[in-house]
Structure 1
Amino acid sequence: MTRHAPGTSVQAGVSGEVAAFVKKVGEVARPNAAQDGRLLFALDATMSRQPTWDLACSLQAEMFKAIPKSSALQVQLLYFRGFGECRASKWVLSGDSLAKLMSGIQCQGGRTQISKVFAHARSEHARRRINAVIYVGDAIEENPDLLAEKAGQLGLLGLPLFIFQEGHDPQVEAAFKEFARLSKGAYARFDASAPQELAALLKAVAAFATGGRDMLRLQSGPQAQALLSQLQS
């Protein structure tokens, strides 16, 4: 798998699908944009995901680079793996802190627990508003109709899901797109061999989480500018 070298630009080589995703993000209305952004970063950590987990570890700092020094981004890591294990970290304010959390986690075999991701997002959002949820995965081993209902509930609460799919499973794609639509979020597929795609997606959602459309419009490059047309209002 191609690795993302330090200092490599993430502005080049982004696919049209990813660019369209970036454009769509900017059309989601985000209330309370003046407050610190809060972003739930959820990943499938089952065994098939180890290469992409390693990639996400190397790229997660891009989220913090997308916001100006006058703003702040709080990120909570949520992952599932093994036999029913689903854990959430504390909220952190830096790429270094998030990297430390992620570096100590190894993927393990197990089934998907997307339902727990959605339930946790709703619970955290009830305590204090979360501006966006990122979910990265490649499979669904749960009832998609029940997951769709939970995604719709998040949409009613004003909590959009930004779902990034690795791979080309058409059934997974259809379900992920429906979850994103029902939550008034957005979907994109990325290629793990092209790390700049995932980096662009992470940066775009971070910009949205901290300042909504206005912040996203300030991001340079085709990825962020393209994100301005996908999401539902």
Structure 2
Amino acid sequence: MAYDPEPPKRSPNPTICRSPPAGGSAPLPDVKSSSSDIAAFVAKARSMSPYASDGRGRLLFALDATMSRQPTWDMACTLQADMFHEAVGIGSLDIRLVYYRGLNECRSSGWIPDSAKLARLMSAIDCRGGNTQIGKVLSHARTEAVASGIKAVVFVGDAMEESVDDLCAKAGELGLLKVPVFMFQEGHDAIAEQAFREIARLTGGAWCRFDPGAASQLRELLRAAAAYAVGGREALRRLSTTVTSATRLLGQMK
């Protein structure tokens, strides 16, 4: 998907399109996998090098953009620059933004190489009421694991309203592809915690909770995930000497 750095204007009635609008993002289908599909994906993933062929780390940054999430969306919009900053000195980082909101609206941006472009895109998106669509996020991550060689997925949310078994099946596919999912939970919803923990476990990732509105906590978590996406376990291990959240993530990862 091509990415135009100029974001779309906010509109109360956006049009769902099949390809990305200028500066916007494309809707994601709900993908179901057959055993042969999974086997093909695993075979291709095993043939890939542990890092992207062009030497850039790639991270899927997924956020719940339903109505209750506006304060956290705004906070994440500010903090996303820390992911790029953390990558400096380790390597380069590309981020693909994925978000869901409203009635079955789930979109993905193109690859974004710097914080200014990502900030412009995020500032043009407003949160809208709707149910969670974590399954679509995981399906898209599986596709990108092969197509683009993503190294990690970050998900930020506070709820889960889907079938846990379905989500675990998709998470298991990512685990086979060795793509860890970092599930960052805002708040204390018990149902969400159970699902988020299991997704993290099945993918070889990690689950961490942060307090509502706690920018410093989320900042540390995003920095740690970015370090892993660019430099793997060694980069996360180095960061853990100064950042507590990195130690927490490293302790949970297989």
Shorter-chain-normalised TM-score: which range? 0.7 to 0.9
- Report which stretch shifted further, 51-60 or 62-71: 62-71
**In structure 2, C-alpha distance between the alignment counterparts of 1:147 and 1:93, rounded to whole Å:** 29
Moved over 6 A (4+): none
Letter in 1 for 2:82: E
Q: For 1:1-233, what aligned pairs fall within 5 Å after superposition?
A: 31-32=50-51, 35-69=55-89, 71-219=91-239, 221-223=242-244, 226=247, 227-232=249-254
Q: Secondary structure of the equivalent of 2:127? A: coil
Question: Following the alignment from structure 1 to structure 2, what is the Cα–Cα distance between the partners of residues 225 and 136?
Answer: 16
SS in 1 for 2:106: strand
Q: Which amino acid counterpart does residue 89 of structure 1 have in structure 2?
A: S
2:237 & 2:173 partners in 1: Cα distance? 28
Structure 2, unaligned runs of 5 or more: 1-48
CA RMSD for the aligned pairs? 1.7
TM-superposed deviation, 1:206: 0.3
> Could you tell me the TM-score, scaled by structure 2's length?
0.76
Q: Distance in 1 between matches of 2:157 and 2:223?
A: 18
The question of whether the paired residues in 2 share the 8 Å contact of 1:204 and 1:223 is answered with: no
Larger Rg: 2
Shift of 1:70: 6.0
Q: Is the 8 A contact 1:208 1:216 kept in 2?
A: yes
Contact 1:73/1:93 (<8 A) preserved? yes
The number of residues matched between the two structures is 203
Shift of residue 126, structure 1, vs aligned partner: 2.0
Q: So what's the TM-score if we normalise by structure 1? A: 0.83
Q: 1:225 to 1:147 in 2, by over 3 A?
A: closer
In structure 1, the residue corresponding to 2:166 is in which secondary structure?
A: helix
Deviation at 1:113, TM superposition (A): 0.6
